[in-house]
Structure 1
Amino acid sequence: MDIIIQTYQLKKTFKKEVVIKPLDFSLRKGEICALIGKNGAGKSTIFKMLSGQLFPTAGDIQLFGKSGKETAQAKKRMGFMIEAPEFFPDFTAAQNLEYFRIQRGIAEKERIYEVLQIVDLAKQKKKRFRDYSMGMKQRLGIALCLLSSPDCLVLDEPINGLDAEGIMEIRKLLLKLNEEKQISILVSSHILTELQLLATRFVFIKNGVIVDDLSKKTLDDKSKKQIRLKVDDAAKAARLLEQAYPDIQYKILPNHIITIQNYVEESGEINRLLIDSGVLVMEFRIEALNLEEYFLGLVEGVEK
């Protein structure tokens, strides 16, 4: 499979603080890879090194198999949105893109209308940028990334600050670019439930280190199910559970809710044990843990 981005022992130090520890990472053609980490985990630093905004302290970056001086040419096949692009507030979308087209030496003028069509802004001919919603601004940012017809997009927090509708529009747009235009995508966010609907691969980063790298299938398997029950006496229920299952993993939440992380397949027996022992069970269900909970467990070092 073609490797689009490859880093070898990539490291970044600011003053004496090591922000990115030696990092090996690759993005394969066709993937939508989500880079997931809390704010300050090092996501933006990695993206800025890939785009050339920051120089690595050590290590190497290859883009489309090219490294060193040759990466400048390879970068033309990439579209980066690391920070919100600076658009002219009084310009329309087409006027803004025309400015960047000339600045970047892109020959085909009609490319502007193609990308506005792709991001669904073609009908907004007269609207000025300052009157755009946050979602429209993000879509114009992606249109700018697409001007040079890239094979790969690198997007840092493209859904940050968007409402539910804006998030859905960006998700649909990225899926369309991946499926119809075969554009590979590296995207970061901390809105994990969204990424679960988008990405094919999940890379978790904590303090500049990759702590896990999972396919969608593996992640879905790991986002294990748990039992959630609501009882009238959580303390009594917990005692009964510990007596019956010495290695049970559970949490007591507010409002007498208990979640049990193992013994999911024994749910019927657990329910019967509590009822037979005089605990009133008001709610009993099996639910899947979402990516958010899995991720928090991972980056905070708590075993799920």
Structure 2
Amino acid sequence: MDAIIQTFQLTKKYKDETIIKPLDFSLKKGEICALIGKNGAGKSTFFKILAGQQMPSSGEIQLFGKSGKEIETAKRRMAFMVETPAFFPDFTAVQNLEYFRIQRGIVDKKRMYEVLEIVGLAHEKKKRFNDYSMGMKQRLGIALCLLSSPDCLVLDEPINGLDVEGIMEIRKLLRKLNQENQITILISSHILTELDLLATRFVFIKNGVIVDDLSRELLEEKSRKQILLTVDDSAKTVQLLERAYADIQFKVLPNQEITIQNYVERSGEINRLLVENGVMVKEFSIKVMNLEEYFLGLVEEDTHD
């Protein structure tokens, strides 16, 4: 598979603080890759470095296998929506795109109408940008990205502030661009349930470090099942579990709840162990984790391994 973006030991420091620690990352052709992390994890900084809005402190970036002076040419095959684009409020969609088309030296005038058709704004001929809904504004932002016919889109929080309908429209649009137009997508969002519905790969970043990198299949396998316990004495339960299973992975939650991430196939045995040792098990169930829970398990500090 061809790598579209590759970084080698990429870092970013501000004064004494290292925002991005030596980062090796690659984005392969055809992927919809979700970059997931809390605020301040380094996502936006990473996107700004890729877009050329910030310079890395050290390390190397390759785009489509090109680096150094050749990277600017390769960057023309990319489109970035890292901050909300500044459109003219009194212009229509066509007027706005016409301005950017001329500014960017895109000769083909037809392309404006094609991209408005792709993002579902072709019928909004007279409406001024100011009167657009948030979802329409984001779709025009994506239309602007598509103006130069890129092979790869890098989108930072494209569904931020959208209502349910707007979110659904953007999801459908991105899926269509990926499947029908073969556009590779790198995306971040706080709305993990949406990324779960969209992405083919999930990269988790914490304090500027990639802590996990999973395909959809692997994520589904890893997050498939866990045991959920409610007991009368979580401290005693933890002792019993650690004594019986050396490599048990669990998390203690409030209200005497415990989740166990492995040994799911030995759930009956675990239940018996607790009951025979005087722990009152109020609830014992096996639940499927979603992306959000998997993410929290990775980034919270109090996970036991």
Residue in structure 2 matched with residue 52 of structure 1 by the alignment: 52
Q: Point out the more displaced range, 220-229 or 40-49.
A: 220-229
CA distance in 2, matches of 1:14, 1:240: 45
Q: Counterpart amino acid of 2:171? A: R
SS, match of residue 23 in structure 2: strand
Does the residue aligned with 1:83 lie in a helix, a strand or coil?
coil
Report what 1:155 is aligned to: 155
Q: 1:214-236: CA deviations, max 9, x gaps?
A: 11111111114123466xxx416
Q: Would you say the 8 A contact 1:237–1:274 is kept in 2? A: no
Three-state SS of the structure 1 residue aligned to 2:166 is helix
Cα offset, 1:286, TM superposition:
2.4
Cα displacement (A) at 1:145? 0.3
Q: Which residue of 1 aligns with 2:232?
A: 235
Kept after mapping to 2: 8 A contact 1:7/1:60: yes
The number of equivalent residue pairs is 299
Equivalent residue runs for 1:115-130 within 5 Å: 115-130=115-130
- Displacement after TM superposition at 1:181 (Å): 0.5
Q: Answer yes or no: is the 8 Å Cα contact 2:2–2:29 preserved in 1.
A: yes
Q: Which residue of 1 aligns with 2:134?
A: 134
Distance 2:237 2:300 in 1: 29
Q: How far apart in 1 are the matches of 2:87 and 2:99? A: 10
| Superposition map of 1:26-65 within 5 A | 26-65=26-65
CA distance in 2, matches of 1:36, 1:273: 37
Deviations 1:146-191 (A, max 9, x none): 0000000011111112222211111111111000000011111222
SS at 2:139 equivalent: helix
The 5-angstrom pairing of residues 168-207 of structure 1 reads 168-207=168-207
| AA at the equivalent of 1:127 | K
Does the 8 A contact of 1:12 with 1:21 survive in 2?
yes
| Alignment match, 1:112 | 112
1:78-128 Cα offsets, whole Å, 9 max, x none, are 110000000111111111111111111111111111101111111111221
SS of the residue corresponding to residue 296 of structure 1 reads: helix
Change in 2 beyond 3 A, CA 1:126/1:284? farther
Q: CA deviation at 1:196?
A: 1.4
Q: Secondary structure at the match of 1:62?
A: strand
Q: Which residue of 2 aligns with 1:89?
A: 89
Secondary structure of 1:186 counterpart: strand
CA contact (8 A) 1:297 1:303 kept: no
Q: What SS does the corresponding residue of 2:232 show, helix, strand or coil?
A: helix
Report the Cα distance in structure 2 between the residues aligned to 1:167 and 1:67, rounded to whole angstroms: 35
Q: List gaps (5 residues or longer) in structure 2.
A: none
Summarize the Cα distance change of 1:156–1:275 in structure 2 as closer, same or farther, 3 Å threshold.
same
CA RMSD of aligned residues (A): 2.6
> Percent same amino acid at aligned positions?
71
Bigger drift between 64-73 and 257-266 goes to 257-266
> Any gaps of 5 or more consecutive residues in structure 1?
none
CA distance in 2, matches of 1:3, 1:18: 26
**CA spacing shift, 1:10–1:259, aligned 2, 3 Å:** closer
Q: Does 1:78 align with 2:75?
A: no
Alpha-carbon distance in 2 for matches of 1:89, 1:257: 52
User: Which one is further off, 143-152 or 117-126?
Assistant: 117-126
